[in-house]
Amino acid sequence: MSPVKTTLDELHPGETAVIVEIIGDDVVASRLMEMGLIEDETIGMIGRAPMGDPTEYSVRGYRISLRKNESVRVIIRKDS
């Protein structure tokens, strides 16, 4: 199957994907990159908060919480 390009907020619990790029050059984008969300890194989805947002992800061996408006900035490649 060919890889599917989508955004990080589309990931379901337990799924993993590879980061393709982060959109933008503002504070949000550079913060995301500083925290280690860089192209070719694997990122996994752990679970959503009770009210549906934010979401817990695992990257580089640690856990990070991202809001939807941040995770839509992360383009990922998912092997479907």
Partner 1 sequence: MLAQTVTGQNVRVVALIGNPNTGKSSLFNALCGMNARVGNYPGVTVEQKVGRLSGSTELIDVIDLPGTYSLAARSADEAVAVNVLSGELPQQTAPELAIVILDASNVERNLYLFSQVYELGIPVIAVFNMWDRVESEGLSVDAELLSKRLGVPVLCTSANRRRGIEQLKRAIEESLSNRTDGPKPEQLARAMFPPAFHQETLALTNWLAENGRKPSMYQVDRMLIDTDGHFQKTICQSGLPGIADRIDEARKRLGEAGCKVPMFETKARYAWVRKLIDGAVTRQESRSASSSDRIDRWLTHRWIGMLFFVLVMFLVFQSITLFAKLPMDGIEWLQGQSSSLVESVLGPGALRSLIVDGVIAGFGGVMMFLPQIAILFLFIAILEDCGYMARAAFVMDKLMSSVGLSGKSFLPLMSSFACAVPGIMATRTIESRKDRMVTLLIAPLMSCSARLPVYILMVSAFVPATRYAGGWISLQGIVLMVMQSLGAIVAIPVAWVLKQFFFPGEPATFLMELHSYKWPSVRVIQQRVWERVVAFVVRAGSLIVCTSILVWAAAYFPGDHTQLDTILIELEQKPSEALQQQANVLRSELIESSFLGMVGHRIEPIVKPLGWDWKIGVATIASFPAREVIIATLGTIYSLGSGETHESEGLQEKLKAARWPEDGRPVFTLGTALSIMVFFALCAQCSATLMTIRRETNSWRWPIFSFVYMTTLAYIGAWLTYQCCQWWS
For residues 26 and 80, which CB has a smaller minimum distance to partner 1 in the complex? 26
Shortest Cβ distance from residue 30 to partner 1 (Å)? 4
Report phi then psi at 26, rounded to 5: -90, -170
For residue 42, the tally of other CB atoms under 10 A from its CB is 12
HSE at residue 3, side-chain half, CA atoms within 13 A, is 12
Among 58, 72, 75, 78, binds partner 1 (CB under 8 A): 58
Q: How far is the CB of 67 from partner 1 (least distance, A)?
A: 5
Q: List the one residue from 7, 16, 20, 46 that touches partner 1 (CB under 8 A).
A: 46
According to the binding rule CB under 8 A, does residue 38 interact with partner 1? yes
Distance from CA of residue 51 to its chain's centroid? Answer: 19
CB of 58 to partner 1, least distance (A): 7
Cα–Cα distance for residue pair 47/23, rounded to 1 Å: 23
